[in-house]
Chains A and B, each alone.
Chain A
Amino acid sequence: MAFLRRLRSRLVVIAGLLTLGYLLLPNVVVTVFSFNDPKGRFNYTWQKFSTDAWTDPCGVADLCGSLSISLQIAAWATLGATVLGTMIAFALVRYRFRARGAVNSLIFLPMAMPEVVMAASLLTLFLNLGAQLGFWTILIAHIMFCLSFVVVAVKARVMSMDPRLEEAARDLYAGPVQTFVRVTLPIAAPGIAAGALLAFALSFDDFIITNFNAGALVTFPMFVWGSAQRGTPVQINVIGTAMFVVAVLCVLAGMAVGNRRKRQKAA
């Protein structure tokens, strides 16, 4: 009975830990298998510990080239979608114009559309326009589907902003540009950053739309997919683990900066 009571009082903690495990188990597998030394071409069964792949991450032909292409596309797509999405979000929250309601709903359409249908239709569009498939068609497609997510993230933030703050800035001798740079942008920044991160993540690992519209170009997700037909190099796991570690480090650095500021203020 005592055991049951203890179990019941910790039920929430246990459920939480199980969920966390469920979430992180795939990441653990990726990391563990980045240290594998597989027999043959497939990295599916554990053989023995090795750091070969870590010391030579670009050892597989075309892997680092595709990674670089994916990072470039993700960076430009993030920039494009964040700038456009932020402007759309401000327009939708701050201004009353004709068809505002319609635009508000239409913005969500790309999110609701099945991705594979969107991909095929985009290809049709590009072919009809006579566009050459490659870097630019991928970038245009990525900005398009990232836009909705940025708008959602920024809009939530702008809606919670008190418009009187900008009035106060104008009242205190800040012109339109200064008001935007000194007050509007810093306050909206968390929403914009969230939108940008989301855009980067979505663009970096998009496969379906990219695969349809890439032409001869190979991005990192396409490389992984392609090589999975013939064998999975350990280096894929290395890249995956490295991305995960970079992301975790970024979060930790952000938290450290925040904590230090708090401590400085308290002092």
Chain B
Amino acid sequence: MKTTTDTGGDVRLSGIGKTYGSFTAVHPLDLTVPQGSFFALLGASGCGKTTTLRMIAGLEEPTSGTVSLGEQDVTRLPPHKRPVNTVFQSYALFPHLDIFENVAFGLRRRGIRSVKKQVEEMLELVQLGEQARKKPHQLSGGQQQRVAVARALINHPKVLLLDEPLGALDLKLRRQMQLELKRIQTEVGITFIHVTHDQEEAMTMADTVAVMNAGRVEQLGPPTDLYENPRTTFVANFLGTSNLIEAEVDSRGGGDIVVKAGDCKLTLPEARCPAPVTAGGRLLVGVRPEKISLVHADDAGGIPAGRNRVTGRIAGSSFIGVSTQYVIDSPVCPELEVYAQNVDRDARLAPGAEVVLHWSPAHTFGLDAAQDIDAGVQDIGEEAA
């Protein structure tokens, strides 16, 4: 498989927006996707991510703004004239054509005569050489998915758009395909823009993730940055799990902010609080469940000084294998989650036990308290949708 050298620059969206009547699907947004990167648009269903993708493909006309590929403004170009290809959520393989003809479709439409060699190479890349003469409905879901990728990639697009490409696969196959897609992207060097509602999928594959909510980009950055430094409660809750504690600013100095939650004093670095801080003002203090250590109340004396400490009682625990997940009922927050690695398990840590939670101030972040504390919390119904 040849690596395409002429990938022709970045994808630039300037002020692009879409409204349907009085409903705004996408608020005007600016976004630049660097050439050759793996970019994910992450959000719950109905957040505008698929509409954004379709505007890049040309399948949806933006109400405002422009789409550029490198130097070329493609806003007014119909989809068949854009050097962009899409892998659709339902794969949209042509049922009346066999696998070979499905993959050859784009080449033939561009008037390329000898497609055999290219198609065979592409089918080898996705390990489907044997299936060339089968019809799409004779293949498994994972195989159909690979055909959809091959059918798009064979055209060497400047950008490959993926619309929830793994949504229909079962968990194990999805993991496998995540790695497979990442491998293909590295191999061909084409810009991938991937739309997904699965935060784990976005974090595993993408170099850069844009978290979308209600038609806007909430935050954009590398996965680790989004995870460690969420700037809104939506991002904090949508990417992984966050414990958010309502607190009041007590004092600041030396690069730290000290807050009071109930009768606990918690410290966090000023650099990790994007919200405005005024003495006496309110703040949401966040910490990820895996950053917290849990000790029985009897051993509280052994906790090093300078750590953030919160007391509570174990309300529930579930054994996951690699870790145990505890839910702690604490005066500062009714449901604090703690993930403890199963290295040295303390048998006393059972539901009902009095415990002390402690973590490093450096692992604490602050958020503006004027937001919905539960924004982005996924309930089961939402995930199934």
Interface on A for B, CB 8 Å cutoff? 162, 164-165, 167-175, 178-179, 182-183, 186-187, 265
How far, in angstroms, from A168 to B94 measured CA to CA in the complex? 9
| A165 in complex: contacting residue of B79, B94, B98, CB < 8 Å | B94
Contact A172 B88 (CB under 8 A): no
Q: Which of B58, B88, B151, B155 has the most CB of A within 10 A?
A: B88
How far, in angstroms, from A244 to B49 measured CA to CA in the complex? 57
B92 close to A (CB within 8 Å): yes
Q: What residues on A are CB-neighbors of B155 within 8 Å? A: 172-173
Q: Which of B79, B84, B89 has the most CB of A within 10 A?
A: B79
Q: What residues on B are CB-neighbors of A169 within 8 Å? A: 94, 105
5 nearest CB pairs, A to B: A172-B106, A168-B92, A164-B92, A173-B109, A170-B79
Q: B109-152: which residues lie under 8 A (CB-CB) from chain A?
A: 109-110, 133-135, 151-152
Contact B90 A171 (CB under 8 A): no
Which of chain B's residues has its CB closest to A173's CB? B109
Contact A187 B95 (CB under 8 A): yes
Which of chain B's residues has its CB closest to A163's CB? B92
How far, in angstroms, from A230 to B135 measured CA to CA in the complex? 58
B271 close to A (CB within 8 Å): no
Q: Is the interface of A mostly helix, strand, loop or mixed?
A: helix
Q: B223-241: which residues lie under 8 A (CB-CB) from chain A?
A: none
Q: How far is the CB of A189 from chain B (nearest CB, A)?
A: 8
Q: What residues on A are CB-neighbors of B86 within 8 Å? A: 167-168, 171
Q: Which of B80, B81, B86, B152 has the most CB of A within 10 A?
A: B80
| B90 in complex: contacting residue of A162, A174, A265, CB < 8 Å | A162
Q: How far is the CB of B365 from chain A (nearest CB, A)?
A: 41
Contact B151 A172 (CB under 8 A): yes
How far, in angstroms, from A38 to B63 measured CA to CA in the complex? 79
What sequence of 0s and 1s flags, for each residue 55-68 of chain B, a beta carbon within 8 Å of any chain A beta carbon? 00111000000000
How far, in angstroms, from A57 to B90 measured CA to CA in the complex? 56
Known contacts A178-B109, A265-B133; is-contact A170 B92 (Cβ 8 Å): no
Interface on B for A, CB 8 Å cutoff? 57-59, 78-81, 84-86, 88-90, 92-96, 98, 105-106, 109-110, 133-135, 151-152, 155
Contact A171 B109 (CB under 8 A): no
Which of chain B's residues has its CB closest to A166's CB? B92
Q: Which of B58, B94, B134, B155 has the most CB of A within 10 A?
A: B94
Which of chain B's residues has its CB closest to A265's CB? B133
| B106 in complex: contacting residue of A164, A165, A173, CB < 8 Å | A173
Known contacts A164-B88, A167-B59, A168-B86; is-contact A173 B80 (Cβ 8 Å): yes
Q: How far is the CB of B130 from chain A (nearest CB, A)?
A: 13
Which of chain A's residues has its CB closest to B110's CB? A173
Q: How far is the CB of A148 from chain B (nearest CB, A)?
A: 27
Q: What residues on A are CB-neighbors of B84 within 8 Å? A: 171
How far, in angstroms, from A162 to B109 measured CA to CA in the complex? 21
How far, in angstroms, from A100 to B98 measured CA to CA in the complex? 36
How far, in angstroms, from A164 to B81 measured CA to CA in the complex? 18
Q: How far is the CB of A96 from chain B (nearest CB, A)?
A: 12
Contact A183 B94 (CB under 8 A): yes
| B135 in complex: contacting residue of A167, A187, A265, CB < 8 Å | A265
Q: What residues on B are CB-neighbors of A265 within 8 Å? A: 98, 133-135
Contact A171 B96 (CB under 8 A): no
How far, in angstroms, from A267 to B84 measured CA to CA in the complex? 36
Which of chain A's residues has its CB closest to B86's CB? A171
How far, in angstroms, from A174 to B110 measured CA to CA in the complex? 8
Q: What residues on A are CB-neighbors of B95 within 8 Å? A: 165, 187
Contact B92 A167 (CB under 8 A): yes
Contact B88 A168 (CB under 8 A): yes
Q: What residues on A are CB-neighbors of B152 within 8 Å? A: 171-172
Q: Which of A170, A172, A174, A178 has the most CB of B within 10 A?
A: A172
Q: List 7 A-B contacts (CB under 8 A).
A: A164-B90, A167-B86, A169-B94, A170-B58, A170-B59, A173-B80, A173-B81
How far, in angstroms, from A126 to B81 measured CA to CA in the complex? 51
Q: How far is the CB of A168 from chain B (nearest CB, A)?
A: 4
Q: What residues on A are CB-neighbors of B88 within 8 Å? A: 164, 167-168
- List 16 additional contacts besides A164-B90, A165-B95; criterion CB under 8 Å: A164-B92, A165-B92, A167-B79, A169-B94, A171-B58, A172-B105, A172-B152, A173-B81, A174-B105, A175-B80, A178-B109, A182-B105, A186-B96, A187-B95, A265-B134, A265-B135
Contact A171 B94 (CB under 8 A): no
Which of chain A's residues has its CB closest to B78's CB? A170
Known contacts A172-B106, A172-B151, A178-B109; is-contact A162 B79 (Cβ 8 Å): no
How far, in angstroms, from A167 to B57 measured CA to CA in the complex? 10
Contact A174 B57 (CB under 8 A): no
Q: How far is the CB of A213 from chain B (nearest CB, A)?
A: 40
How far, in angstroms, from A168 to B86 measured CA to CA in the complex? 7
Contact A171 B133 (CB under 8 A): no
Q: What residues on B are CB-neighbors of A179 within 8 Å? A: 80
Q: What residues on B are CB-neighbors of A186 within 8 Å? A: 96
How far, in angstroms, from A169 to B80 measured CA to CA in the complex? 8
Q: What residues on A are CB-neighbors of B85 within 8 Å? A: 171-172
Known contacts A167-B79, A173-B106; is-contact A187 B96 (Cβ 8 Å): yes
Q: What residues on A are CB-neighbors of B57 within 8 Å? A: 171
